[in-house]
């Protein structure tokens, strides 16, 4: 039987487990890898794309990711003086936007596990108008090295998909947030219109890996991107998880027919 592209339709919970029952697995794209190895797969993936990450983002999204990120930070309504954590912050697009909103006394911390990704963004951040408000910490989203209630706002952009235990990542975001603080998650999702989704699938499974091979030297890495989006939680599932880990007032905003989705919540 042909496997459907969007795994929610296929019925995630009904899929046949073909690995040993005792071994916990996690998705890396469509591939199931031992849970305790996923972070290594993710690390290798981002090592391989770091140098061309920004260029490829802009090319593959035709620049639209900048609009999504601007919308996401704008609706966080950050205040001057805010301390903001950018989990899985990578090359720092969201951090730069947040730094512009928090004023001179505000700070934004990029928290990312991958040194190559952080380094790929440093020049861009330093060249930005508010770059001196941005700091960098290398670390795992599942174990955030800040005390409880330290941040006024936390955000994660296109990163939580890569975290092995997404619930642990969100729990940590909730823990380091002040009561009443805001959490924003920007992530890929599933387009709502079937026609649009069909076109998007053709683009994702054929054009993106081809461009990835041509420009970034790895079609596999960009096929992984396509696959990882299709194994990720749907908006309602994500909303339920956010409530479960302690967030409230969860709202969503669909971007570009649902290619991406913003979840905004409060602690
Ligand atoms: C797709 S990039 C997103 C970067 C940036 N937020 C953006 O919107 O362009 C995902 C980032 O998540 C980071 N990441 C993956 N797993 C992580 C983890 N467990 N803890 C912290 N960062 C992680 C990767 O190193 C990578 O920089």
Give DSSP secondary structure letters for 51-111. GGHHHHHHHHTTTHHHHHHHHHHHTT---TT-EEEEET-TT-HHHHHHHHHS-TT-EEEEE
Q: What is the pLDDT of residue 11?
A: 53
Among 28, 48, 114, 226, which is best to mutate for testing ligand 1, by the most ligand atoms less than 8 A from CB?
114
Q: Read off the tokens for 41.
A: 């797969």
Among 159, 168, 228, which is best to mutate for testing ligand 1, by the most ligand atoms less than 8 A from CB?
159
Burial of 47 (0-12, 13-18, 19+ CB in 10 A): middle
The verdict on the CB of residue 90 being under 6 Å from ligand 1 is: yes
Asked whether the predicted pLDDT for residue 19 surpasses 60, the reply is no
Q: Read off the tokens for 151.
A: 């941040």
The verdict on the CB of residue 140 being under 6 Å from ligand 1 is: yes
Distance 249 CA to ligand 1 centre (A): 25
Could you tell me which residues come within 8 angstroms of residue 265 by beta carbon, excluding any fewer than 6 positions away?
182, 183, 184, 185, 242, 247, 248, 249, 250, 251
Residue 123: count other Cβ atoms within 10 Å of its Cβ: 11
Could you tell me which residues come within 8 angstroms of residue 52 by beta carbon, excluding any fewer than 6 positions away?
215, 216, 217
pLDDT band at 6 (very low <50, low <70, confident <90, very high): confident
Residue 140: C-alpha distances to residues 66, 121, 190 (Å): 25, 18, 27
Asked whether the predicted pLDDT for residue 199 surpasses 80, the reply is yes
Mean predicted confidence (pLDDT) in 152-178: 97
Mean predicted confidence (pLDDT) in 69-85: 98
Higher per-residue confidence, 106 vs 25: 106
In tens, the pLDDT along 52-70 reads 999 999 999 999 999 999 9
Residue 74: count other Cβ atoms within 10 Å of its Cβ: 11
Mean predicted confidence (pLDDT) in 167-192: 98
Asked whether the predicted pLDDT for residue 94 surpasses 50, the reply is yes
Asked whether the predicted pLDDT for residue 20 surpasses 60, the reply is no
92 CA closest ligand 1 atom index: 5
CA nearest neighbour of 72 among 95, 103, 91: 95
């Amino acid at each position: 039987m042909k496997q459907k592209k969007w795994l929610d339709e296929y019925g995630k919970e009904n899929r046949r487990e073909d690995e040993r029952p005792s071994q916990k697995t996690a998705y890396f794209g469509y591939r199931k890898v031992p849970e305790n190895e996923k972070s290594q797969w993710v690390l290798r993936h981002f090592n391989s794309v770091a140098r061309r990450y920004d260029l490829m983002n802009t090319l593959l999204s035709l620049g639209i990711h900048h609009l999504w990120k601007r919308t996401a930070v704008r609706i966080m309504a950050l205040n001057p003086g805010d301390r903001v954590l950018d989990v899985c912050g990578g090359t720092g697009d969201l951090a730069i936007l947040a730094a512009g909103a928090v004023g001179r006394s505000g700070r934004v911390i990029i928290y990312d596990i991958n040194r190559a990704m952080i380094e790929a963004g440093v020049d861009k951040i330093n060249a930005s108008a508010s770059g001196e408000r941005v700091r960098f910490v290398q670390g795992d989203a599942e174990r955030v090295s800040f005390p409880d209630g330290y941040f006024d706002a936390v955000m994660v952009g296109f990163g939580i998909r890569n975290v092995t235990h997404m619930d642990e990542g969100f729990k940590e975001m909730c823990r380091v947030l002040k009561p009443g603080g805001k959490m924003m998650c920007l992530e890929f999702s599933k387009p709502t219109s079937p026609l649009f989704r069909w076109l998007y699938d053709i683009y994702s499974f054929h054009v993106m890996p081809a461009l990835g091979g041509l420009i970034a030297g790895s079609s596999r890495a960009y096929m992984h991107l396509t696959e990882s989006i299709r194994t990720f939680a749907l908006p309602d599932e994500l909303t339920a998880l956010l409530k479960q880990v302690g967030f409230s007032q969860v709202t969503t905003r669909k971007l570009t027919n649902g290619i991406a989705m913003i979840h905004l919540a409060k602690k």
